[in-house]
Amino acid sequence: MTKPLPNPLPRPEGELEALEKVWVQPTGWRLLSAVNNSQIGVLYVGTAVLFFVLAGILALLMRTQLAVPGNDFVDQDLYNQLFTMHGTVMMFLFAVPAVEAMGVLLLPNLQAARDLPFPRLSAYAYWAYLIGGLFFFGSLFWGLAPDGGWFMYPPLTSYIYSPGDNADFWLLGIGFIEISAIAGAIEIIVGVLRTRAPGQSLDKLPVFCWAMLVFAGMIVFAFPAVILATLLLELERAFHWPFFIAEKGGHALLWQHLFWFFGHPEVYIIFLPAAGMVSMMVPAMARTPLVGYRLVVLAILGTGFLSFGLWVHHMFATGIPGMSLGFFSAASMAVAIPSGIQVFAWIATIASGRLQMTTPTLFLLGFLFIFTLGGLTGVMVAMVPFDWQAHDSYFIVAHLHYVLIGGMVFPLFAAIYYWMPMVSRHALSERLGRWVFGLMFIGVNVTFFPQHLAGLMGMPRRVFTYPADFGWNTLNLVSTAGAYMIALGVLLFLFDLARKLRPTSEGNAGNLWNAGTLEWLPTGTYQTRSIPIVTSREPLWDQPNLAEEVESGRHYLPRTATGRRETIITSPFDAAPQYVLLMPGASWRSFFAAVFTAGFFLLLTVKLVTLAVVSGGLALAAVIWWMWDTDPGPGHGDVDIGGGLVLPTYVSGPASHSWWAMVVLSLVAGTTFACLLFSYFFLWTVRPDLFPPPGVTLPGLEPAAGVAALYIVSGLLVAFAGKHLAPPRSGRHGVFLAALLLALAGLVAANLLDLARMWDSGLRPAESGYGATVYAILCLQTFFVATITIMALYTAARALAGKLDAVRRVTFDNTHIFWRYTIGQGLIGAGVVHLFPRLIGAG
């Protein structure tokens, strides 16, 4: 016997209308205030495609220049800017945001959530990305574009060889865009783990959701490295702190370590979600469940981990210990295993089903072909001796484009064709689609295959021209012709897009492919009318009538229970409903916050410091305004979602979604700090004689002990404050506020004392790599202490405004998590800078 559905028919009158009303979407210029994933998601993907086109135009300019030897279409300086911008825009403004955007768009649909848990955070990440990205790209028109190559190696990019603002555009622009990516990643992690359809336990989670979870986890651990690297290089450029200058005890290799610690996982950060999308499309196109689901999930997790073991493999040519190179070479080969597993799973699925030859299928097959070729050349360059030969030649350019275009661009095009009927009134044209595919597939091979040969014949990368008598002429001409073919394919695609894309969530083209996953349920602006109970991995195949039941409102929460936007928060493993989350509607707050944050970074880049500070202040104000009506408290009581389930509308502690976000944020902070400690120890291994430099005596141990004691007391005081939050409606905040403010004073004092003592010792950041890293550790702490100061004052203000008490306490809990983190960081930092030099016999 089947279980009865949670909600009976007929549904009360007006229920649907009320639901529609709370989810109504802003239109016209108010679109800027939209926070709903279905709107932001489409804009997000569209913007990523825009950057693909822009960077593609730069590629065409380069290929035009290289078509014939000795060409003078663009000069050397412009060529340097072109390849730097092309590489940077493709990697940072297209590839990563594109897959993140697909996540924001698809995840709630795949999980039948009404939205992801932090819609305004997605909106913030999107606007920050759009504005930051457009300005970054615009730098090209003022000749201000960075020109140091997409990985910006110092010393070339430091103040001596790159004066002027060009490199700053890269450092601040990319640093900023990475912050937006991290904001998106937090949203995705909490979203995948906590906003699923009831019953959609981890073993029924669509592969794409797994891939996005691992993707976001990798961002959390990889991006802090590059954020820290850009910060250090910017400190070196602006204040001459010599992190990367060998004469002063810094080291250029430090940049390479930090950059590639991020840079190699980056390839998988791009590839995993793309593979996740492939794992959704292949079963739909072959009309059969994915073969080896569990193996594929394992492979995704394995790739996520192993890819971190690869960073040095971009530095085979730099003279690192032979044995370390061996480790990395081994890891490079090991990571091929999980990738191979996925490829076999797709092939087996195709073999066990009946493949329909649609445009998405063509792009999928194209992907398999191109990516496999890229993988083969990848195994070649993973062999250290071969890499020494091919290093910095066109062989590498060919390899990297095969991998990136195969592994990411083709799956993305497949995905756009595949999911278009979900977001738009019309699907894209199948007939034109075949042309688009044909032009792009042939074009890519014609462009990049000859480059393997050119590389083996000695043509170096990043040259703006070449002499006629090296035998490279034909290869280059063919390559350029191929690039124009790709461009024609993309143009045709854009034409079709303009004709057919009519974004909508109600009345979309629907489940044309007869796919089995939840995103193909009938939707409105509120996503699905009721939230389905899921008992299978392909519910639409295995649960007959599901679409109809969901649409008629027979599953959970077919209404708005509180008169606001809501979604169900579920438990992370088994997806059991836990509480109903109240969600914000359209709002300008996140938009303004993004505009002013972007303003802060851009103004800083062009050295308008005062204006930058003003903009930063406004950004902060907008964020506080945005935060102010979060943490709504238990005022809405419990609500009945059907089937006898009555859920609270407010929880605090580890069950709360915001607790999860804070923990993830602390992980980001912790990784940044760990990378900084790595930098410190790395510089010690290259210049132990400067730890500390001659003439500098370490500050005494007693003050250091005082600093540690202050941190500990501060921690005890906040914990005490947490136990003395006023009972609801009592207004008795005295003890709480006193303890909180005292704790804050202790924290601030500890950091200031540490800095003052260090300064008194005569150590200066600009004089040695040692000094620079020591002050970086202390100043990072200052940054966190400043953040806690703002959070503490905000928390106090909420208490005084009657928005914080012993029950309605999420604001305090969040502050507390970050507070504890900051104390931990402070203690470890102080331990390192005071004890380590003594341990190695100094002082």
Partner 1 sequence: MHEAPFVPRFLLLLSGLIVWAGHFLGIYLYTGLLCARPDWVTASLAGIPVLPLGVCLATAAALVLLVLLQIRAMAAGLDRFAGFVTSGGIWLAGLAVLWETLPALTAPGCA
The number of C-alpha atoms within 13 Å of 370 and in the hemisphere containing its C-beta is 31
Q: How far is the CB of 479 from ligand HEM (least distance, A)?
A: 8
Please state at what angle helix 430-456 crosses helix 359-382, rounded to 10 degrees. 10
Using CB distances below 5 to 8 A depending on partner kind, what does residue 202 bind out of partner 1, ligand HEM, none?
partner 1
**Which two tokens mark 375?**
């993988």
Question: At closest approach, how far in Å is the CB of 210 from partner 1?
Answer: 10
Q: Please tell me whether residue 263 binds ligand HEM under the rule CB under 6 A.
A: no
**Binding residue (CB under 6 A) for ligand HEM from 34, 43, 62, 325:** 62
Residue closest to 132 by CA, chosen among 178, 163, 87, 91? 178
Q: Fill in the DSSP letter of residue 405.
A: I
726 contacts 806 by C-beta, under 8 angstroms: yes
Closer residue to ligand HEM (CB): 284 or 444: 444
Q: Which does 735 bind (CB under 5 to 8 A by kind): partner 1, ligand HEM, none?
A: none
Smallest separation, CB 752 to ligand HEM (Å): 42
**Between 428 and 664, CB nearer to partner 1:** 664
Give CA–CA dist 105/40, Å, rounded: 8
Burial 118-148 (b: 16+ CB within 10 A, else e): bbbbbbbbbbbbbbbbebbbebbeeebbbbb
Q: Which of 766, 584, 639, 669 has the alpha carbon at shortest distance from 227? A: 669
- Give me the residues that bind partner 1 (CB under 8 A), please: 193, 202-203, 294-295, 297-298, 301-302, 304-306, 308-309, 321-327, 329-331, 333-334, 337-338, 571-574, 576-578, 685-686, 688
Smallest separation (angstroms) from ligand HEM to the CB of 395: 11
Q: How far is CA 797 from the centre of its chain?
A: 32
Rounded Cα–Cα distance for residues 45 and 38 (Å): 11
Cβ at position 326, least distance to partner 1 in Å: 2
* Binding partner of residue 50 among ligand HEM, partner 1, none, CB cut-off 5 to 8 Å per kind: none
Q: Show the DSSP H helices in 195-287 as ranges.
A: 207-239, 252-286
Residue closest to ligand HEM when measured from CB atoms: 87
Binding mask 453-482 for ligand HEM (x = CB under 6 A): --------xx--------------------
Provide the CB-side half-sphere exposure for 208 (13 A, CA): 28
* Single residue of 41, 87, 455, 577 touching ligand HEM by CB under 6 A: 87
- Find the shortest distance in angstroms from Cβ 297 to partner 1: 6
Q: At its nearest, how many Å lie between partner 1 and the CB of residue 685?
A: 4
Amino acid in the structure at residue 518: L
CB of 676 to partner 1, least distance (A): 15
Q: How far is the CB of 256 from ligand HEM (least distance, A)?
A: 14
Cα(first)–Cα(last) distance of the chain, in Å?
78
Choices 396-404, 566-574, 590-598, 713-721 (CB under 6 A): range interacting with ligand HEM: 396-404
- The answer to whether residues 403 and 378 touch, using CB atoms and an 8 Å cutoff, is yes
Q: How is residue 150 written in tokens?
A: 């997409």
Minimum CB separation of residue 530 from partner 1 in Å reads 19
Is residue 226 within the footprint of ligand HEM (CB under 6 A)?
no
Quick check: 264 binds ligand HEM (CB under 6 A)?
Answer: no
**Residue 327 site contact among ligand HEM, partner 1, none (CB < 5 to 8 Å, cut-off depends on kind):** partner 1
56 makes contact with ligand HEM (CB under 6 A): yes
Contact 540, 565 (CB under 8 A): no
Which does residue 486 bind out of partner 1, ligand HEM, none, counting CB within 5 to 8 angstroms by kind? ligand HEM
Q: Does 740 bind ligand HEM (CB under 6 A)?
A: no
Alpha carbons 676 and 783: distance in angstroms, whole number: 14
Q: Which is nearer to ligand HEM, 181 or 780 (CB)?
A: 181
405, interface contact from partner 1, ligand HEM, none, CB < 5-8 Å by kind: ligand HEM
User: How far is residue 836 from each of residues 228, 376, 773, 827, 833, measured CA to CA in Å?
Assistant: 22, 45, 13, 13, 6
Residue 610 interaction partner, one of ligand HEM, partner 1, none, beta carbon < 5-8 Å per kind: none
CA distance 685 to 322: 16
Q: In what helix (H) or strand (E) does residue 185 lie, and over which residues does it extend?
A: helix 166-194
Told to check if 253 binds ligand HEM by CB under 6 A, we report no
The 10 Å Cβ neighbour count of residue 695 is 8
59 binds, among ligand HEM, partner 1, none (CB under 5 to 8 A by kind): ligand HEM
The distance of closest approach from Cβ of residue 811 to partner 1 in the complex, given in angstroms and rounded to an integer, is 23
Q: What is the dihedral of CA 281, 285, 288, 292, to 10 degrees?
A: -40
Q: How many CB atoms lie within 10 A of CB 339?
A: 23
- Kindly state whether residue 233 participates in binding ligand HEM, applying the rule CB under 6 A: no
Q: Contact between 331 and ligand HEM (CB under 6 A)?
A: no
Q: Which of 237, 401, 529, 559 binds ligand HEM (CB under 6 A)?
A: 401
Query: C-beta of 367: minimal distance to ligand HEM in Å?
Result: 13
Contact flag: residue 483 with ligand HEM (CB under 6 A):
yes
Nearer to partner 1, 324 or 514 (CB): 324
Give the closest residue to 200 by CA, choosing from 701, 657, 702, 555.
555
- Reduced to 3 states (helix: H, G, I; strand: E, B; else coil), residue 311 is helix
Q: What's the full length of the chain, in residues?
A: 843
Calpha distance 589→620 (Å, rounded): 11
Q: At its nearest, how many Å lie between ligand HEM and the CB of residue 390?
A: 13
Question: What residues between 419 and 458 interact with ligand HEM by CB under 6 A?
Answer: 447
Binding site partner of 305, from ligand HEM, partner 1, none, Cβ cut-off 5-8 A by kind:
partner 1
Q: Which helix (H) or strand (E) holds 449?
A: helix 430-456
Cα distance between residue 568 and residue 205, in whole Å:
16
If contact means CB under 5 to 8 A according to the sort of partner, which of ligand HEM, partner 1, none does residue 354 touch? Answer: none
**Which is nearer to partner 1, 217 or 699 (by Cβ)?**
217
How many residues contact ligand HEM, by CB under 6 A? 25
Which member of 40, 45, 48, 59 binds ligand HEM (CB under 6 A)?
59
Contact between 399 and ligand HEM (CB under 6 A)?
A: no
At its nearest, how many Å lie between partner 1 and the CB of residue 718?
Answer: 22
Phi-psi region of 730 (alpha: psi -120 to 50; beta: other; left: phi over 0): alpha
Crossing angle (nearest 10°) for helices 657-686 and 769-800? 160
CA distance 597 to 182: 15
CB of 269 to ligand HEM, least distance (A): 12
**DSSP H helical segments within 761-809, as ranges?**
769-800
Site of interaction with ligand HEM (CB under 6 A): 56, 59, 62-63, 83-84, 86-87, 90-91, 94-95, 149-150, 397, 401, 404-405, 408-409, 447, 461-462, 483, 486
